[in-house]
């Protein structure tokens, strides 16, 4: 609903008594009377699991089948931006990449070490960092930060991969939260290596809840449920980690829907892919 000031100008911002910016306003009867202009995008986070080392899995003998499955996954995702982990420059040890990825994302593909961000929305800037507090974490102690402009709004996008030990994970989480809170619009994606069965688990209270307390919303461990995104074997009941991957957004970004791509859970080619993509449909106000 459009609202105008006394001069007839379209009201683009609305604030509460404390001065905090609102995305929606309601009358005393609970009817929505105003909403800011918004843009809808779809983002995903996906640990691609580099062939032959991503999770200690043996090299894939049937490369064509492996690449076909990767093509299927990316085609089904249909996202505007995808945060990828364990990219390591290619999906396969011989340098072969999925054609869906090279066709759709190659123009804007950025990467540092083993991470990459693919996007069909141009980035205005991009940087890669080593965690200042967790440099001993080796390859896991990195993140990427990119910016893109959409609907007149400058959005900060993080891609990260957490270490395997909780002390380093907590330091990584705290560092990214500190940076994310400085951004007006922020999306944080990545493989956090968390194991969360409920909101009382330590992995949740130590690494995710501080974001929630700061006004962020999680596509995993939120109103859409807890998604299992990591499977170390082809049997989804054998070796899984609930809520390994996350997409967290600042309070002025709404998660319309969140889900996982289940192709891996129904394939019959063993453990060639150990993660499934987590996808979120977002509205940026």
Domain boundaries, the chain: 1-37, 39-284
Q: Work out the average pLDDT over 200-216.
A: 97
Q: Is the pLDDT of residue 257 over 90?
A: yes
Identify the pLDDT of residue 59. Answer: 54
Q: Give the residue with greater pLDDT, 214 vs 235.
A: 214
Q: Work out the average pLDDT over 92-111.
A: 74
Q: Give the residue with greater pLDDT, 6 vs 173.
A: 173
Q: CATH assignment of 39-284, given 3.40.50.1980, 3.10.129.10, 2.60.40.3880, 3.60.10.10? A: 3.60.10.10
Lowest mean pLDDT among 83-87, 190-194, 212-216: 83-87
Lowest mean pLDDT among 85-89, 218-222, 278-282: 85-89
Q: Is the pLDDT of residue 93 over 80?
A: no
Q: Give the residue with greater pLDDT, 107 vs 228.
A: 228
Q: Give the residue with greater pLDDT, 69 vs 220.
A: 220
Tokens linked to 126 = 């991009």
Cα angle value 246/177/223 (rounded, 5°)? 40
pLDDT, the chain, mean? 83
Q: Give the residue with greater pLDDT, 73 vs 211.
A: 211
Identify the pLDDT of residue 53. Answer: 45
Q: Is the pLDDT of residue 234 over 60?
A: no
CA distance 263 to 95: 24
| Cβ-contact 160, 190 below 8 angstroms | yes
Q: Is the pLDDT of residue 90 over 60?
A: no
Which pLDDT band, with edges at 50, 70 and 90, does 51 fall under?
Answer: low
Instruction: For residue 40, give every residue at least 6 positions away whose Cβ sits within 8 Å of its Cβ, in sequence order, or none.
Output: 256, 281, 282, 283, 284
Q: How many CA atoms lie less than 13 Å away from 65 in the CB half-sphere?
A: 12
Q: Is the pLDDT of residue 23 over 80?
A: no
Identify the pLDDT of residue 50. Answer: 60
Rounding to the nearest 10 degrees, give the CA dihedral for residues 182, 188, 194, 199: 70
Q: Is the pLDDT of residue 62 over 70?
A: no
Identify the pLDDT of residue 192. Answer: 93
Which pLDDT band, with edges at 50, 70 and 90, does 267 fall under?
Answer: low
The pTM is what? 0.85
Lowest mean pLDDT among 61-65, 136-140, 176-180: 136-140
């Amino acid at each position: 609903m459009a609202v105008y000031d006394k001069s007839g100008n379209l009201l683009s911002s609305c604030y509460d008594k404390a001065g905090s910016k609102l995305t929606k306003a309601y009358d005393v009867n609970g009817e929505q009377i105003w909403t800011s202009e918004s843009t809808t995008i779809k983002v995903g986070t996906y640990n691609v699991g580099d062939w032959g080392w991503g999770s200690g899995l043996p090299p894939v003998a049937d490369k064509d089948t492996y690449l076909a499955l990767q093509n299927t996954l990316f085609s089904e995702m249909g996202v505007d931006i995808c945060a990828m982990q364990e990219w390591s420059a290619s999906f396969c040890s011989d340098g072969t990449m999925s054609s869906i990825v090279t066709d759709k994302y190659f123009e804007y593909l950025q990467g540092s070490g083993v991470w990459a961000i693919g996007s069909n929305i141009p980035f205005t800037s991009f940087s890669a960092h080593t965690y200042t507090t967790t440099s001993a974490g080796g390859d896991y102690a990195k993140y990427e930060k990119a910016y893109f402009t959409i609907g007149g709004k400058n959005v900060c996008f993080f891609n990260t991969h957490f270490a395997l030990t909780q002390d380093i994970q907590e330091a990584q989480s705290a560092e990214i939260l500190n940076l994310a809170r400085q951004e007006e619009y922020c999306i944080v994606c990545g493989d956090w290596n968390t194991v969360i069965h409920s909101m009382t688990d330590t992995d949740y209270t130590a690494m995710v809840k501080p974001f929630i307390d700061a006004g962020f919303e999680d596509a995993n461990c939120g109103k859409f449920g807890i998604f299992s995104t990591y499977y170390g074997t082809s049997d989804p009941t054998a070796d899984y980690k609930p809520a390994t991957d996350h997409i967290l957004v600042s309070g002025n970004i709404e998660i319309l829907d969140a889900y996982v791509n289940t192709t891996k859970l129904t394939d019959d080619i063993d453990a060639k892919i150990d993660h499934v993509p987590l996808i979120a449909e977002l509205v940026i106000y």
